Structure 1
Amino acid sequence: MQAIIVFDFGGVLFDWNPDYLYQSLIPDEAERARFLEHVCNPAWNIEQDRGRPIAEAIAIKATEYPHYAEQIAAFYQRWPETLRGLLPEGMALYQALKQAGYPIFGLTNWSDETFPYAWENYPFLHEITDIVVSGRIGLIKPDPAIYHTMYQRILQHYPEAKPEQLIFIDDAAHNAQGARNVGWQAIHHTSAGETAARLRELGLAF
């Protein structure tokens, strides 16, 4: 059987960055950097990706940083402003692999409460064979369990699929390594060109 491609979304296909929103809310660059490092930071955001309710997350941070209560609430009230759109080079790679006939799946750390916005506004997601959204299952990369969940979903479509046939593309090195740890092949995505070259090294034709 041919290779099966599993795409991460943020940083590979989607251009997501909280800084896009907070440039207007906190104009001072140094203050904004501190806010995104210590207040609405990745460690806080990943818990929503794990399934923590947004209302709970906002309440926790607003209690800890009451003087930033409005800015904290804006993280999700104005969440679409953190998503600038699609990354053209990543999407070109996705389209090339799709047109070449490779099965494509999605595995993303994403809140179940914000993913519907992407689903409704980016129709290409409906073309993907199956998508595992971390917030829906209470697991996040690089927990081995989320890769096992993805593999079981793939088996529903391709019962003969072997772990070594799966090629995972993720912009976070530790997430790519998590896939390797369960027997998949994986590419740490730093650019579409480098990822395409690596895919061709693995024998893919597109």
Structure 2
Amino acid sequence: MTEIRHIVFDIGKVLIHYDPDLPFQRIIPDAEGRRWFFETVCTHDWNLEQDRGRGWADAEALLIASHPEEADNIRAFRKHWHEMVPYAYEDSAAIMTGLIDAGHDVTMLTNFAADTFREARQRFDFLNRPRGVTVSGEIGLIKPDVAIYERHATDFDLDPAGSVFIDDSIRNVEGARAAGWRGIHFTDAEQLRRDLAAMGIEA
């Protein structure tokens, strides 16, 4: 099996915490109302289109047209985004920076809106440490589309067979495998260390 020469990290729920429910526990205190809002209005699929590159103004206008009574709550999603990412996972971030310090080639590949990623980089300096990053919102492609892995490999001159991708979503890991990469399904930092060690990488 080809030696791993390139280590690629996802960001959300691997390096930094992400939970849209956090500010909305205050904004919509009723649990049932909050569940309805996320299942019907600001849905995962709606938010994913911002990860694909749609601007927030267009995204908000689309929902407000169909749910005018929810206009304030819809605008609150972007307004309070910073509360959805309250902290980094220090243990997995330390693994990533340790790999960089040890001389490994480390990049990142993430589904992230372009503007919120810039904000994340300002808040979490370790996101500036890897050699580079592919941000879905900047290129109009999202995981698990095989094309985004191929784009990342091309842009950063990676050999897919010598690359491993680390993501909390099994669908995204399977997308990487479909592109010829190896994959690690992230659950926690200690398991990540074991999975990397099984590939011959001490972390």
TM-score calculated relative to the size of structure 1: 0.93
Matched residue type, 1:191: D
- Mapped contact 1:19–1:82 kept (Cα < 8 A): yes
Task: Give the superposed CA RMSD.
Answer: 1.3
Distance in 2 between residues matched to 1:195 and 1:38, nearest whole Å: 35
Residues 176 and 2 of structure 1, relative CA distance in 2, 3 Å threshold: closer
Which of 149, 157, 166 is 1:169 aligned to? 166
Instruction: Give the C-alpha shift of residue 107 in structure 1.
Output: 0.3
1:191 and 2:193 aligned: no
- Mapped contact 2:97–2:129 kept (Cα < 8 A): no
The equivalent of 1:83 in structure 2 is 85
Matched residue type, 1:114: T
Q: Report the 3-state secondary structure (helix = DSSP H, G, I; strand = E; otherwise coil) of the residue aligned with 1:183.
A: coil
Question: Could you tell me the percent identity over the aligned residues?
Answer: 39
| Aligned structure 1 segments of 4 or more residues deviating by more than 3 angstroms | none
Q: Summarize the alignment of residues 124-135 of structure 1 with structure 2, pairs less than 5 Å apart.
A: 124-135=126-137
Which of 177, 200, 203 is 1:203 aligned to? 200
- Mapped contact 2:4–2:163 kept (Cα < 8 A): no
Distance in 1 between residues matched to 2:185 and 2:152, nearest whole Å: 18
Where does structure 1 lack aligned partners over 5 or more consecutive residues? 156-160
The equivalent of 1:34 in structure 2 is 36
The equivalent of 1:179 in structure 2 is 176
Q: Aligned pair count? A: 201
Instruction: Give the C-alpha shift of residue 2 in structure 1.
Output: 5.0
Matched residue type, 1:14: I
